[in-house]
Amino acid sequence: MSRRYENNTITEDGQLLLKKAERDQIETVWDRYKAQLPQCGYCEMGLSCRICIMGPCRIDPFGQGPQSGVCGADADIVVARNLCRMIAAGAASHSDHGRDLVEVLANVAEGNAPGYEIKDKEKLKRVAAEYGVETDGKEYLQIAGELADAMQEDFGTRKKEITFAARAPQKRRDLWKKLGITPRGIDRETSEMMHRTHMGVDNGWQSLLLHGMRNALSDGWGGSMIASEVSDILFGTPSPKTTAANAGVLKSDQVNIIVHGHNPVVSEMILLACQSPEMIKLAQEKGAKGINLAGVCCTGNELLMRHGVAMAGNHLSTELIISTGAVDMMIVDYQCIMPSLGTVAACYHTKMISTSDKARFPGMEHREFHPDNAEKSAIELVKAAVENFTRRGEVYIPVEPVNAVGGFSVETIVAALGGTPKPLIDAIVSGKIRGAVGVVGCNNPKIKQDYGHVTLTKRLIENDILVVDTGCAAVANAKAGFKTAESIRFAGPGLKEICGSLGIPPVLCMGSCVDNVRILVLASALANTLNVDISDLPLAAAAPEWYSEKAAAIGVYAVASGVYTVLGPMPPIMGSMNVVKLLTEGLNDIVGATFAVEPDPEKAAVLIRRHIEGKREKLGLSFVKI
């Protein structure tokens, strides 16, 4: 295989499909990245400002040119403002996704959402109780309606504290209160961030970053947590499912439909339509053996977690999947969908469909999904995909799929442990498991696809550190073969023993990016059982290939919740050593956790192991000097 392809991705399907894409003269994300080089140094360092039109401004990092923008903002203020706007955009994206789910819940309650139902009634009652909704003697639909109303309140401005903040350990909540960063309302914190970063408002780089943490917490313990919990209520709480991953999940003899995006509101309906006997019969009439639904990115993770739907790839695979020529339809909702996809699809027979009123793309047909028409629209789309099967040209599916197990919700993990997190704690105390790490986040063409995730995960599990993963990291680790019962061969002796006895892989898929909140809930359960704060536990997080504003919000809420977090790509903060020092050192004294930046996953693994052993030593557990 040419180095050209190997430098872009470690995956065999990716390398082979890159070769095919080149032959088909398809421009990919790697071509466009290369065309952008060298990227703007001011922007890379966070030193350019486009917030107002006295600018655009830039600050000279070498001290020769301007040291402030036209308004007078110095490097610290400019860098902090830029980073804070990233956090706000990320928090808004997750939280708006959460709001869409709450609206579906409200429509289900009112009988306006045919095809949707309450799948996990027990969870509905449990979450309703957390929101103070009386459940005794009430019908489920009434509870759903009242819960949806109560959740809407969390988005507004009238509360002192969002409801799910109560799930955090008391010590953490006390700390947030002391720092004045308890999230009050989901939209409120984002809106306040946009206000603070307007010219002439908050020009304290420290106070801006403090509000950045509050804003991110409103996502982690608010918008994302609502998204995850309401998805469970509507579509079922995940439990372990066998599945498969990589481009080999496409089937040459079946109609292939790919769902891409994030919100299960669309993909769940498409799945139901694909299972309809009428549609399967139609597919057979058209010469196909059946209908094969697969996912990419996080809406794929949502279906994988609940139904074992196969995963064709992660973020950087999306163009390549189309270049197989085997995709009869790709249906997208929102987030992480490259605007280039319609152009790629135009070279093949693939029909591209956008479904969200807030997300349009060039080269896609727009078929808007709403709770009242989703069931009907899904059938229409699947029918159109089946009809498109007959238009297929040459098909190239280069590899066999890799098996995987997914679907590890907190409920499932605790049930596997016998109903309490105690056995996991015992394994950590005994040292058989040294600690646990969330490996999360995206692909980014600045890092060889999947290299960061897979290398880091491998090093952690072979050193007896349990890995939980989400998002595109979870897809990378599934493609790498870390998620079958046999995958314990990659684990160190202690982790191998524990996972072997529980019959679980050493890398547990916890879902999509909003599902990172499942990790927060698990960490809180561990902290509460030990009566310590999250920051006392031998835990860490890593985003080895992150690219998105959502990932920035996730990283900040992880750190503000007490979890040491190692980033692969450098965020745009190098223009301010004050900001860098605060994020990588100073935050330890404030929230008990910091960021580190280390693009080399081998070195990142060492940083994380040192951190975990340091926490073990502080807890009086056995530790190893690294």
Residues lying near ligand BF8 in the complex (CB under 6 A): 262, 297-298, 314-315, 336, 441-442, 471-472, 512-513, 548, 550-551
Q: How far is the CB of 262 from ligand BF8 (least distance, A)?
A: 6
Q: How far is the CB of 331 from ligand BF8 (least distance, A)?
A: 15
Minimum CB separation of residue 469 from ligand BF8 in Å reads 10
When the beta carbons of 240 and 441 are compared against ligand BF8, the nearer one is 441
Least distance (Å) between residue 99 CB and ligand BF8: 16
> Look-up: residue for tokens 């809180």?
524
CA distances to 52, 236, 379 from 303, rounded to whole Å, are 42, 11, 18
Report DSSP state, residue 40: P
Q: Of the two residues 171 and 315, which places its CB atom closer to ligand BF8 in the complex?
A: 315
How near is the Cβ of 359 to ligand BF8 at its closest, in Å? 13
In contact, 312 and 321? CB cutoff 8 Å: yes
Measured from the CB atom, the residue of 301 and 535 that comes closer to ligand BF8 is 301
Q: Tell me 506's DSSP state.
A: S
Closest CB to ligand BF8 among residues 219, 613: 219
Decide whether 340 or 512 has the Cβ nearer to ligand BF8: 512
Collapsed DSSP state (helix, strand, coil) of residue 595: strand
Per DSSP (E only), the strands in 42-195 are: 48-49, 57-58
C-alpha–C-alpha distance, residues 61 and 79, integer Å: 12
Q: Dihedrals φ, ψ of 286, to 5°?
A: -85, 5
Comparing CB distances to ligand BF8, the nearer of 262 and 611 is 262
Whether the CB-CB separation of 581 and 603 falls below 8 Å is answered with no
Q: Pick between residue 144 and residue 508 the one whose CB is nearest to ligand BF8.
A: 508
Place of tokens 């703007």: 40
Least Å from the CB of residue 578 to ligand BF8: 28
Q: Label the pairing between strands 365-366 and 402-406.
A: unpaired
Both structure tokens of 79: 């860098």
46 dihedral zone (left: phi>0; alpha: psi -120 to 50; beta): left
Amino acid at 276: S
Closest distance of CB 119 from ligand BF8, Å: 22
Name which of 145, 147, 151 is nearest 126 in CA terms. Answer: 147
Question: Minimal distance in Å, beta carbon 314 to ligand BF8?
Answer: 6
Amino acid (1-letter code) at residue 453: H
What tokens appear for 384 in the block?
């159109």
Please say which residue, 190 or 548, places its beta carbon nearer to ligand BF8. Answer: 548
How is residue 614 written in tokens?
């340091």
Q: How far is the CB of 319 from ligand BF8 (least distance, A)?
A: 13
- Cis ω before 169 (30° cut-off from 0): no
Nearer to ligand BF8, 351 or 550 (CB): 550
Residue for token digits 């830039």? Answer: 58
Least distance (Å) between residue 186 CB and ligand BF8: 17
Pair of tokens at residue 22:
């080149």
Min. distance of Cβ 253 from ligand BF8 in angstroms?
Answer: 29
Smaller CB separation from ligand BF8, 163 or 314: 314
> Nearer Cβ to ligand BF8, position 269 or 336?
336
Contact 435, 540 (CB under 8 A): yes
Contacts of 262 (CB under 8 A, 6+ apart): 97, 297, 298, 299, 302, 333, 334, 335, 336, 512, 513, 514
For residue 397, give the amino acid letter. Answer: I
Residue carrying the six token digits 């027979």: 349
Q: For 598, what's the count of Cα atoms within 13 Å in the CB-facing half-sphere?
A: 20
Instruction: Name which of 262 and 392 has its Cβ closer to ligand BF8.
Output: 262
Cβ–Cβ under 8 Å, residues 578 and 209: no
CA 625 – CA 604 distance, rounded (Å): 16
Q: Name which of 102 and 472 has its Cβ closer to ligand BF8.
A: 472
What SS3 state is found at 311? strand
From the CB of 598, what's the least distance to ligand BF8, in Å?
19
Q: Least distance from C-beta 22 to ligand BF8, angstroms?
A: 23
Which of helix, strand or coil describes residue 84? Answer: helix
| Cα torsion 72, 74, 80, 83: sign | positive
